[in-house]
Structure 1
């Protein structure tokens, strides 16, 4: 690995251990075995490096959302109620191993004022998250998913993910299950008049 990759890996470890607010450039250098000048050369700033590391951590956690227990990927038809439940079950299954990442996400949300530059960079990355979630639930390849699907369904799934994350971090035992979420969707949809 070169300095760029070493810095990224070191920044990931620092974020998971210390979070955004407490991680210093010196922490990253110590963890990565590089030097302070490398951060500016490869990433421009410590904040830019931390944002890239955070996005990589979230993407890594998101990659496991489609994996069914025991390996393989989601097997139900994209856009179906069965796919909705299957994917949420997969998402919830990953929460214990990704707890540190979700805690870090909450830090970014709750410390946004102190992390103004970081927050601005992450706002730009949110579109990619919406696109990935919309593709996962609809079964449409992410590279061709229409913008209107990302901006409607992607936002819907992102909102559900954030709510489930908060519930699960607060109390995993009482957090909404995939089955409860799916039944709630069925009931809400069933109450809507046709047309």
Structure 2
């Protein structure tokens, strides 16, 4: 590996151990075996490096979302299956999703990280739409990203917050699916949202 890759791997380890705010450039250099000048040369800044490291960590975890997915695209069975996989990534006490909560709370103190992750979040929304409704990410229309993708991302952020705050009472996939089923049923009975 070269310095660029070493820095990225070191930044990932630092994020998991210390989070965004407590990770210093010197921590990354020590963990990666590189030097301070390498951060600026390869990434522009420590915050840009940390943002890319976080996105790489999320991409690694998001592969677990695709695990054992059952059910037809768009079905309640598929919804339950995918959310079971997603929640499975949140169960560990050292879940990387805690880093997301750090960004939500501390984002104004880390604008470069927040801005980078906001752009990446849109692509995450696109991926959730493709996973839950079938098809390929590159075929998901922008309107679906703005509507259904935003819905799924908002649901994910809420679930993430609940699992971070109180895992004992956080919802399971079955509860989310039943809530969605009741919402669909109520909307069908009244001709609109409840």
Range of TM-score over shorter length: over 0.9
Structure 1 unaligned spans of 5+: 69-73
CA distance in 1, matches of 2:115, 2:89: 27
Cα deviations by residue, 1:156-189 (Å, 9 ceiling, x for unpaired): 1111111111111222221111111111111111
- Structure-2-length-normalised TM-score: 0.93
SS of 2:73's partner is coil
Question: Deviation of residue 97 (structure 1)?
Answer: 3.9
Structure 2 unaligned spans of 5+: none
CA distance in 2, matches of 1:181, 1:108: 25
1:27 matches 2:47: no
Cα deviations by residue, 1:104-130 (Å, 9 ceiling, x for unpaired): 111111011211222122211111111
8 Å Cα contact 2:65-2:82 kept in structure 1? yes
1:114 matches 2:109: yes
1:185 matches 2:180: yes
RMSD of aligned Cα (Å)? 1.4
Cα deviations by residue, 1:50-101 (Å, 9 ceiling, x for unpaired): 1100111111111111102xxxxx1321111110011111111221248431
CA distance in 1, matches of 2:56, 2:116: 14
Give the alignment of 1:5-20 within 5 angstroms.
5-20=5-20
CA gap of 1:99–1:148, structure 2 versus 1, over 3 A, is farther
Partner of 2:96: 101
CA distance in 2, matches of 1:110, 1:25: 21
The alignment covers a number of residue pairs equal to 190
CA distance in 1, matches of 2:81, 2:168: 19
8 Å Cα contact 1:99-1:169 kept in structure 2? no
Large movers: runs of 4+ above 6 Å:
none
Partner of 1:71: none
8 Å Cα contact 2:129-2:152 kept in structure 1? yes
Question: Deviation of residue 139 (structure 1)?
Answer: 1.1
Give the alignment of 1:35-50 within 5 angstroms.
35-50=35-50
- The one of 116, 131, 151 equivalent to 1:156 is 151
Partner of 1:175: 170
CA gap of 1:98–1:138, structure 2 versus 1, over 3 A, is farther
